[in-house]
Structure 1
Amino acid sequence: MKDLPEAWSGETYYGQPPLKNPQWDWKVSGYIAVAGTAGASQALAWIGSLRDRAAFRGVRRNANLLGLAGMATGSALLIADLKTPRRFYNMLRIVRPTSPMSFGTYILGVFGGFSSASFLANLAANPGPVLRSAAGVVEAGAAVSGAGAATYTAALMSATSNPYWAAAPRSLGAQFATSAVASGAAALAVGERLSGRRHTAERLEAVAAVATAAHLVAGQVAKRARHRAGVEEPVEDRSSRYETADLLLAGAAPLAGYALNRATGGRAPGLAITGSLALIAGSFAMRHGILDAGKSAARRPEAAFSLAQPGNLPDRQRRRVERQP
């Protein structure tokens, strides 16, 4: 078992942070949350339709609307963050599979295209066999590209030099994926509740509850990984408030709402809807908290120097460093 690195306590470069502070703000965290919810909802609707297509007809329609809204809102937030709209257009001129940002631009575009096609294919009340086959193809495309849209942002953030994001890449991916599934299921469940389809809503709420529990576990695993790397933010840092909000909004509140509704035999749907809405809000709070914690880490030189120690390198790179004279 390799030795775990300790938090850096040695010299720094005159106490100055060696990294630039990322300029991302709420527009980026908002895009990540919107893309996660919209992408996961398309994947969940497709999986549900494979089991019971008739029961999930309303879910597919709502998932398509979420996909279209997510594409439009996400694109607007990204363009607003880039400051210059032509930058988004220029990103489409180059395909660079090794760049999460370049690859993510195309994932978003493909997701929007499949979501639009799926929406149009499901407008017909009595589709023929050809249209049903075409709808199945585009729904699968929306599900696969939606899963990519919901998770690629974790790869984008962990591929940077920011110590907080790069210290736990796999755990960050698990956090984003489980949160996306939870918020996507919650958003679809709200639509089913408002439409009076209780049975489908309860199935989606069960998925949201399981994903919420998995998200809480992923968050603790990520926290331990950052602590081992010596980049965890100080307790008094304001990003800890986002962690508390995540535990309440994306953890305790939805689980309590779903459990209480089940305990009353489904006679308290307002509690379930409240839990779902808290879960959706918590997905944004979690992502914005991680974004804010990354900014805090970039301002602390000891965080960057801690992550740069050989003990934090992958095994293959660490052995290469150790062999050097």
Structure 2
Amino acid sequence: MPRVARRRGRGRGGRGGEELRVPEAEFTSYYGRPILKAPVWRWDIAAYLFTGGLAAGSSLLAAGGQLTGRPALRRAGRVTALGAVTASAYFLINDLGRPARFHHMLRVAKPTSPMSVGTWILTAYGPAAGLAAVAEGAPLLPARGVFSPVRRLLPPAGQAAGLAAAAVAPALATYTGVLLAGTAVPSWHEAYPELPTIFAGSALASGAGVGLLAAPCAQAGPARRMAVAGAALELWGAHSVETRLGLLSEPYRLGTAGRLLRAGRLLTAAGVVGALAGRRSRVLSALSGAALLAASVATRFGIFHGGVASARDPRYTVLPQRERIRRREAGQV
């Protein structure tokens, strides 16, 4: 509790007295401990958020390349998706501490648990993305001999697996946003409408970045359209969490989170402009793709750091609670 400051002054009739002055409240917690326990997640969870989105966006890119007859786009998307989902699984298992814990989570399917649902999404997505990527190596197998049947069967199997991975990709791209919003961390919880949208846009933009980096200009049309769609979702969501949440928007504007999210906006805008302007320039397309990938990293890490910062400061827990109580008492809720 803040102490009341006192100062000497003159009361009525010129007699000395005390005038009470109440200072502004200092938001401290019991013995200096946070009201909420801040997430113990390290940087590897932020990296997990990025790589999962990259895998999802790359599978959607690959499906677009497959359906429109753009082999370079398809190949880049499939190979990147496998690499990204492998990295994502590594970061998740590294945070869990032991690989067996991931296996234990598969014992139960709990629809009300975003973590349980996410584990099953990864389990469904991984083999499909893996088979689609392996199918890209079919032309390297000998046309005759023991491997000839494998060479014939891999391409159609890869087509089916690629479409299956793309079907699961939207869930993979957005479930981490639901996971963060389901926690008690103030700035994550209050941003529950925006986080899945931001992560969906970030996934599309990062997948587009892969296409712009790897595919020739003539085949990069779907990647450019993905870049525009992803940037629109990502920029709208990031702007909303920085302006709509009142006090809880503050952690997204200040400190590390603020710097990362501002960098993400600039890189996203630059990437989209470059993607549209560089239709005939391989160099400009590649630079735009790199900018979109960097923007996705900055956005994911910015959202992560913003939530952690809000859990560490007691006022982001206390003041919104008081405001909700005040509105209820006033009959507004």
Shorter-chain TM-score tier? 0.7 to 0.9
CA distance in 1, matches of 2:261, 2:28: 29
Q: Secondary structure at the match of 2:244?
A: helix
1:109 to 117, 120, 123: 123
Q: 2:38 — aligned with what?
A: 21
* Equivalent residue number for residue 6 of structure 1: none
What residue identity is the alignment partner of 2:34?
Answer: P
In the TM superposition, what is the alpha-carbon distance from 1:204 to its structure 2 partner? 1.2
Aligned to 2:54: 37
Q: Does structure 1 residue 277 correspond to structure 2 residue 261?
A: no
Map Cα deviations across residues 64-122 of structure 1 (whole Å, 9 max, x no partner). 21121122111111122222332222222222111111111111121111112223445
Of residues 156, 179, 186 in structure 2, which corresponds to 1:163?
186
Which residue identity does 1:298 align to in structure 2?
A
For the pair 1:81 / 2:104, whether they are aligned, the reply is no
When the two chains are superposed, the root-mean-square deviation of aligned CA atoms in Å is 3.2
Distance 2:322 2:104 in 1: 37
Structure 2 equivalent of residue 220 of structure 1:
239
Q: Distance in 2 between matches of 1:306 and 1:45?
A: 47
The structure with higher relative contact order (CA 8 Å, sep 6+) is 1
Corresponding letter in the other structure for 1:65? V
Q: Does the 8 Å contact 1:167/1:307 carry over to 2?
A: no
Q: 2:84 aligns with which of 70, 77, 81?
A: 70
Aligned to 1:210: 229
In the alignment, structure 1 segments of 5+ residues that lack a partner are 1-8, 313-317
Give the deviation of 1:292 after TM superposition: 0.8
Matched position secondary structure for 2:251: coil
Q: What is the Cα deviation at residue 151 of structure 1?
A: 1.3
- Which residue, 297, 303, 316 being the options, matches 2:310? 297
Measure the CA separation in 2 of the matches of 1:27 and 1:204.
28
Q: Secondary structure at the match of 2:45?
A: helix
Distance 1:309 1:46 in 2: 49
- Partners in 1 of 2:252 and 2:199 — Cα distance? 23
Shift in CA distance, 169/204, structure 1 to aligned 2, threshold 3 Å: same
Conserved 8 A contact 1:167-1:225: no
User: Per the alignment, do residues 71 and 104 of structure 1 end up closer, same or farther by CA in structure 2, a change over 3 Å counting?
Assistant: same
Q: Distance in 2 between matches of 1:288 and 1:47?
A: 28
Alpha-carbon distance in structure 2 between the residues aligned to 1:12 and 1:298: 13
The CA deviation at 1:190 is 1.2
Q: Determine the C-alpha separation between the residues in 2 that align with 1:90 and 1:41.
A: 28
Between Structure 1 and Structure 2, how many residues are aligned?
Answer: 299
Please state how far the C-alpha of 1:269 moved relative to its aligned partner. 2.3
Q: How far does residue 282 in structure 1 lie from its aligned partner after superposition?
A: 1.4
Residue 204 (structure 2) pairs with residue 187 (structure 1): no
SS at 1:288's partner residue?
helix
Q: CA deviation at 1:323?
A: 11
| Corresponding position of 2:5 | none
Matched to 1:207, the amino acid is: M
Per-residue CA deviations over 1:36-81 (Å, capped at 9, x if unaligned) read 011121123224433x2xx223322222211211221111111222
Structure 1 residue 237 corresponds to structure 2 residue 255: yes
Q: How far apart, CA to CA, are the structure 2 residues paired with 1:68 and 1:236?
A: 35
Which one of the candidate residues 137, 140, 153 is aligned to 2:163?
Answer: 140
Letter of the 1:215 counterpart: E
2:275 corresponds in structure 1 to 258
* More displaced 10-residue stretch of structure 1: 207-216 or 74-83: 207-216
The 1-side partners of 2:228 and 2:58 are apart by 15
Once the two structures are TM-superposed, the CA of residue 234 in structure 1 deviates from its matched residue by 7.8
- In the alignment, the residues of structure 1 paired with residue 85 and residue 278 of structure 2 have an alpha-carbon distance, to the nearest angstrom, of 33
Contact 2:48/2:88 (8 A) holds in 1: yes
Q: Given the two structures, how large is their TM-score scaled by the length of structure 1?
A: 0.81
Distance 2:159 2:286 in 1: 30
Question: 2: distance between equivalents of 1:208 and 1:156?
Answer: 25
Distance in 2 between residues matched to 1:140 and 1:240, nearest whole Å: 37
The one-letter amino acid of 2:199's match is F
Q: Give me the whole-angstrom Cα distance separating, in 1, the residues matched to 2:195 and 2:301.
A: 13
Counterpart Cα distance in 2 of 1:37 and 1:84? 24
Indicate conservation of the 8 Å contact 1:19/1:298, yes or no: yes
User: 5+ unaligned residues in a row in structure 2: which ranges?
Assistant: 1-24, 144-148
Tell me the amino acid that sits aligned with residue 114 of structure 2: P
The 3 A distance-change label for structure 1 pair 178 and 323 is closer
- Is contact 1:22-1:295 (8 Å) kept? yes
Seen in structure 2, the aligned counterparts of structure 1 residues 323 and 36 have a Cα distance that, compared at 3 Å, is closer
Deviation at 1:199, TM superposition (A): 1.6
Alpha-carbon distance change, 69 to 175 in structure 1, aligned in 2, over 3 angstroms: same
